Amino acid sequence: MAMKIKYAAYVAGSIDGKIAKNSLSGSNWTSKEDRKFFQKSLKFYDAVIIGHNTFNTYKKSLVKRNTIVLTSKASGFKTNGSVVFFNSKKENLRKFLANRKYKSVAILGGPSVYNFCLENKMLDELFVTIEPCVFTAGVPMFAGKLFKKYDFSLESVKRLNKKGTILLKYKYGN
Amino acid sequence: MAMKIKYAAYVAGSIDGKIAKNSLSGSNWTSKEDRKFFQKSLKFYDAVIIGHNTFNTYKKSLVKRNTIVLTSKASGFKTNGSVVFFNSKKENLRKFLANRKYKSVAILGGPSVYNFCLENKMLDELFVTIEPCVFTAGVPMFAGKLFKKYDFSLESVKRLNKKGTILLKYKYGN
């Protein structure tokens, strides 16, 4: 029997659920407390899953990690050091991760990757950082095409700094 | 000198910042704890501002309140009992509210109304209820056309029930 992999997604957004100005602007607008939490958390995972745009903005800090970059441009998958460019429409991602014997995988976005993992039951835990600002427009957390209600339950709330950045931890299901 | 009116917006959304499935589906999907908080809060305001679609879904519970329904269909404003249909492009809303001697006004959405009030500095406090679910698609909290960062500061966090509905209170500015 295959080991169950634990999947945890990390998202940082505004009060109104936007994670960036546009798909290339990156998420380095968040508080230093959030970035510190995020960097510390990454140590606990065997690998990370990330979209191509998001990978380009994080490249430097990921280069030594087991990184699966989801992209529709690869035909199948292509390995480059610790980085794998992976087309999830042509290859089975779950099978790939199981073959690599990963036990815990962090999902780093962007919206299409969060959505892909949620749809495919590869999102057991959700860490959401909410920065105290409103963007009114921008990139949404999840890139769903159709409305669907996925239930979570709240595990904890933590205030990260004085101005009011908060960190919410959810578990999938209710 | 005109009295300063206190404006407070009330929003309930999913973890990913969606407030409804579509613009006509209403916000009666939220927890009973949120609806109770919302109904109790309304008592403290002299009037409410609401968009036309949102008004249609709340009509019954608002009929006795001083209600300003923002609509682009009215030419100026039209009074019907305690309800005023108001075109904010043809009339000055701030002036109208000041003439009525209102001291506190609650803003009930939807996204265009929240955005209008935010843009026009008519949003001093923001009460956000986050229900523990992800919608991936749907109506966003704010209907901004352009990305803009509005800073808030967090006043309090309250957990409303066991499954993890939380209520965040923010003040405009930092």
Domain spans, chain A? 1-44+116-174, 47-101
Size of interface A-B (CB pairs under 8 A): 153
**Confidence class of residue B1 from pLDDT cuts 50, 70 and 90?**
low
Dump the DSSP string for B80-91.
ETTEEEE-TTTS
pLDDT in tens, A27-60: 789 999 999 999 999 999 999 999 999 998 888 7
Whether A62 has a pLDDT exceeding 80, the answer reads no
- What are φ and ψ of residue B109, in 5° steps? 90, -170
Please state which CATH number belongs to domain A1-44+116-174: 3.40.430.10
Helix, strand, or coil here: A55? helix
pLDDT in tens, A143-163: 999 999 999 999 999 999 999
Residue A73 burial (CB count, 10 A):
9
pLDDT at A59: 80
Q: Mean of the per-residue pLDDT values for chain B? A: 94
pLDDT at B145: 92
Cβ–Cβ of A136/B154 closer than 8 Å?
no
- CA max distance for chain B: 48
pLDDT at B2: 60
When pLDDT is averaged across residues B95-119 and rounded to a whole number, the result is 97
When pLDDT is averaged across residues B106-123 and rounded to a whole number, the result is 97
Query: Both tokens of residue B10?
Result: 């009330």
Q: Which of A64-73, A96-105, B22-31 has the lowest mean pLDDT?
A: B22-31
pLDDT at B28: 80
* CA–CA separation, B167 and B170 (whole Å): 10
Query: Both tokens of residue A87?
Result: 């087309």
- Contact list, A22 vs chain B (CB under 8 Å): 147
Q: Where are the beta strands (DSSP E) in chain A?
A: 6-13, 18-20, 47-51, 67-70, 77-80, 83-86, 104-107, 125-130, 133-134, 139-140, 150-159, 166-172
Cβ–Cβ of B168/A15 closer than 8 Å?
yes
pLDDT at A1: 54
**Confidence class of residue A103 from pLDDT cuts 50, 70 and 90?**
very high
Task: Report strand pairing: A6-13 vs A104-107.
Answer: parallel
- Contact list, B156 vs chain A (CB under 8 Å): none
- Length of chain A in residues, anyone? 174
Residue B58's contacts (CB-CB under 8 Å, 6 or more residues apart) are B26, B50, B108
When pLDDT is averaged across residues B122-127 and rounded to a whole number, the result is 98
Q: B104 and B5 in contact (C-beta within 8 Å)?
A: yes
pLDDT in tens, B34-54: 999 999 999 999 999 999 999
* CA–CA separation, B131 and A28 (whole Å): 27
What superfamily does domain B6-172 belong to in CATH? Dihydrofolate Reductase, subunit A (3.40.430.10)
Cβ–Cβ of A134/B143 closer than 8 Å?
no
Whether B20 has a pLDDT exceeding 80, the answer reads yes
pLDDT at B3: 72
- DSSP annotation of B5: P
pLDDT in tens, B62-101: 768 999 999 998 899 999 999 999 999 999 999 999 999 9
